[in-house]
Structure 1
Amino acid sequence: MRLTAVRRERPRVAVVGHIEWVQFARVPHVPRAGEVTHAYDCFEEPAGGGAVAAVQLARLAGGSLLLTALGEDELAQRSVARLRELGVDVRAATRPARTRRAVTLSDEAGERTITTFGARLQPLAADQQLPWSALADMDAIYFTAGDVGALRAARAARVLVASPRARDALGGGVPLDALVLSEDDEIERRAAARAAQEAELVLTTRGKRGGTYRTRGGETGAWAAVPPPAAAVDSYGCGDAFAAGFALARGTGKGLQEALALAARCGSVCATGRGPYERQLTRETL
C-alpha cells in the first residue's frame, strides 16, 4: 500500500475502543498459587487499549478523538476527566452498567499480569450520540472494540489499524490496512487467524525480540526491537502504543519500514514509565 504524505501541520487521528479503570501495583514477583505477596507503588488510571492508544496518538499528533462506551458511575466521570487532561477528546456512550475495572501487577523485570472485572463496554454504530461522521476526516484510526457497524464507520478514514481484541467487529468483511497482535496472547492469535484475510498487513509483536509481518500477498519480513532509553519499568500499554505509532505513521504517508521504526520506538519508550502514560513518545521527542 502506497500512501502520499499528509500536507497539514497536525494529523487527524482517532481511536474507536474501550476504557478500563485500572489499579496498578508493583510486586517483587507475580504470586504463585497459594502465595501472598506485598504490593507497593500503587496507583490508578483510566487505561485499556483504547485509552492508551488515544493518549499516545494525542502526544504524537497534538490531540486525538476517542469514541468509547462507559458505565453510569463515578469511574466513568473520572476516566473522561483524566483522559481530557492528557489531550484526548473523549466521546462516550453511556451504558446501564459499571465501568470495567482491572488490576495489573508489574514485577521487577517490568512484565505485567492483568486481571479484568466485568464486561468490556464498547461503542456501537447505533450510539447516535457518538460523532461517527467525524471519522471520515481522519488520517488514521486505531480500533480496539466495537461492532461491525462501528468498524465500517472507521473504515472511512485514510488508514485503519485494528486489534484482534475487537473480535465482535472482525470477520464482517471490512478491509483493514493492518491488524496488530501480540505473539504471547493466544486469544489474539486465534482472533487474528480468523480475520487475517481482511487485513492488508498482519503485524505480530514479540516484545524485546521485535516482531514479524506478513502481507496479504504473502510477503514476509521482520523488524528489530528498539533498545529502551532507560531501564524497563512496566510493559503495560506497550503494544497499544506500538499500534498507535504505526497507525499515525501510515496515516501520514510514511513507508512500511519507517512506520515500523516509529512504532517500535513508541513501544520501547512506553516500557520505561510507571504505568502507560508516564513515558510516551511525543512530537517533541521524535
Structure 2
Amino acid sequence: MTKRARARLVVVGAINQDQIVSVPHIPLPGETVLGRSFRSRPGGKGANQAAAAARAGAEVTLVSAVGQDDAGRSLLRHLASAGVDIAHVVTDSSAPSGVALIAVSPSGENSIVVALGAAAGLDPVATAGTVATLISAGDVLLTQLELPQAVVTASCSAAGAAGARVVLNYSPVREVPADVLVAADPLIVNAGEAAALAGFPVQSRDDAERAARSLAARARSVVITLGPVGAVAYGDNQLTFCAGLPVTAVDTTGAGDSFAGALAAALGTGATLHEATLLGIAAGAATVQHEGAQPPASAD
C-alpha cells in the first residue's frame, strides 16, 4: 500500500451516553450491588473508535445517529472537539440517543448493557449511500456489530465496491453474513469473540495463534486481542505476536475500541498489520489508565 501522511477513515457505528457505576464486584444474575460512585461519559463503539482514530492522526468521518435531546447534542459536541467530522450523523426526533449501562469493578473489569436508541433506526440503504459518497480507494471503513446487521452489511458492501479497506471489529458477538467476514482486513476480535467464531476456547497465546490461523480462512486478515498479554496478528500467511504494555488498569471500558481505532488509522497510512497492531496496543493501554471510554475533551 502507498504510504499516506494521514489516513482517511469512515466509521459506521453507534454513539451512546455511558452511565458508569463503580461496584465492589460485577453483579451476578439476580444480585443487587451497592455502587460506590456514578459518572456519565461519552461512549458507543462507533464514537469511541472514531475518537481514537482522530487522536491517532486520522481524518475521520462518523456515520451514525443520535436523538434530538440534550444527550445527543452533548455527545456531538464532544466528538467535534475530538476532531471527528459529525456532518453525517443523523438527528432523529422520534428516538432518544443511545445509552450504555456499565458496572466497573476495582480491577477495571466491566459489564455492559446497551440500548441503541436512534442508531437502531439507521436505514441500511441510506447509510450505504452515505458511505459510498464519502469513501474512496485507499480509504478505510471501520465498523462494528452494535448497529443492525443490515446496516453493517450494506456499509461494508459500499466500501468494498469503492476499493476501500474494511476493518471489522466483531463486537458484540452476532451473526453476520459470510461475505462480510471475508471482506474484513482485518477482522478484530478479543479472546471471547475469537472463541465464539472459531468454536473452541481461547485462553492462551497458543490458543489465539491457532484461532487466528483458523479464522484466516474466513477473513482477509485477523487480529486477536488478549488484554494485557498483547495481541496476535495473522495476515499474508504470517503470524506475529505483539506483547502488551505494563500499565495499571483503572477502567477497561473502551480499551478495545481505542485499539481498533488506532489500528485502523495506522493501516490507513500504509502501515503493516504488525505495525498497526503495536499502535493499537499502545492506544488501548492509554485508555485503561483513565475512567470512561473516551478521555475528557480537554485531554484529547
2:154 corresponds to 1:149: yes
Alignment-derived partner of residue 243 in structure 1: 260
Per mean C-alpha deviation after superposition, the further-off stretch among 46-55 and 180-189 is: 180-189
Alignment of 1:86-101 (within 5 A): 86-90=82-86, 91-95=88-92, 96-101=94-99
Q: 2:220 aligns with which of 171, 192, 200?
A: 200
Query: What residue identity is the alignment partner of 1:153?
Result: A
Alignment-derived partner of residue 127 in structure 1: 126
Query: What residue identity is the alignment partner of 2:244?
Result: A
Q: How many residues align?
A: 275
Alignment-derived partner of residue 41 in structure 2: 45
CA distance in 1, matches of 2:59, 2:37: 29
Q: 1:233 aligns with which of 244, 250, 255?
A: 250
CA distance in 1, matches of 2:134, 2:261: 19
Q: Conserved in 1, the CA contact under 8 Å of 2:99 and 2:114?
A: yes
Q: Conserved in 2, the CA contact under 8 Å of 1:20 and 1:101?
A: yes
Alignment-derived partner of residue 165 in structure 2: 159
Query: What residue identity is the alignment partner of 2:57?
Result: A
Alignment-derived partner of residue 206 in structure 2: none
Per mean C-alpha deviation after superposition, the further-off stretch among 165-174 and 79-88 is: 165-174
Distance 1:164 1:35, change over 3 A: closer
Alignment-derived partner of residue 73 in structure 2: 77
Identity of aligned residues (%): 27
Which consecutive residues of structure 1, in runs of 5 or more, have no partner in the other structure? none
CA distance in 2, matches of 1:247, 1:87: 16
Q: Conserved in 2, the CA contact under 8 Å of 1:160 and 1:247?
A: no
Q: Deviations over 1:89-117 (max 9, x none)?
A: 12223554333321111111111111223
CA distance in 1, matches of 2:138, 2:74: 27
CA distance in 2, matches of 1:181, 1:226: 19
Alignment of 1:3-42 (within 5 A): 3-6=1-4, 8=5, 10-33=6-29, 35-42=31-38
Which consecutive residues of structure 2, in runs of 5 or more, have no partner in the other structure? 200-210
CA distance in 2, matches of 1:117, 1:189: 24
Alignment of 1:214-233 (within 5 A): 214-215=234-235, 217=237, 219-228=238-247, 231-233=248-250
Distance 1:195 1:72, change over 3 A: farther
Residue 107 of structure 2: SS of its match in structure 1? coil
Alignment-derived partner of residue 179 in structure 2: 172
Query: What residue identity is the alignment partner of 1:141?
Result: L
- Please report how far the alpha carbon of residue 150 of structure 1 lies from its aligned counterpart in structure 2 after TM superposition: 1.3
CA distance in 2, matches of 1:138, 1:43: 39
Distance 1:35 1:111, change over 3 A: same
Q: 1:274 aligns with which of 279, 288, 291?
A: 291
Q: Conserved in 2, the CA contact under 8 Å of 1:65 and 1:88?
A: yes
CA distance in 1, matches of 2:19, 2:216: 33
Q: 1:183 aligns with which of 188, 191, 204?
A: 191
Q: Deviations over 1:61-108 (max 9, x none)?
A: 164210113345443333222222222112223554333321111111
State the TM-score, normalizing by the size of structure 1: 0.81
Q: Conserved in 2, the CA contact under 8 Å of 1:17 and 1:143?
A: yes
Alignment-derived partner of residue 107 in structure 2: 109
Query: What residue identity is the alignment partner of 2:126?
Result: D
Query: What residue identity is the alignment partner of 2:89?
Result: A
Higher helix share: 2
Query: What residue identity is the alignment partner of 1:93?
Result: V
Alignment-derived partner of residue 203 in structure 2: none
CA RMSD across the alignment:
3.3
CA distance in 2, matches of 1:245, 1:102: 22
Alignment-derived partner of residue 204 in structure 2: none
CA distance in 2, matches of 1:224, 1:162: 22
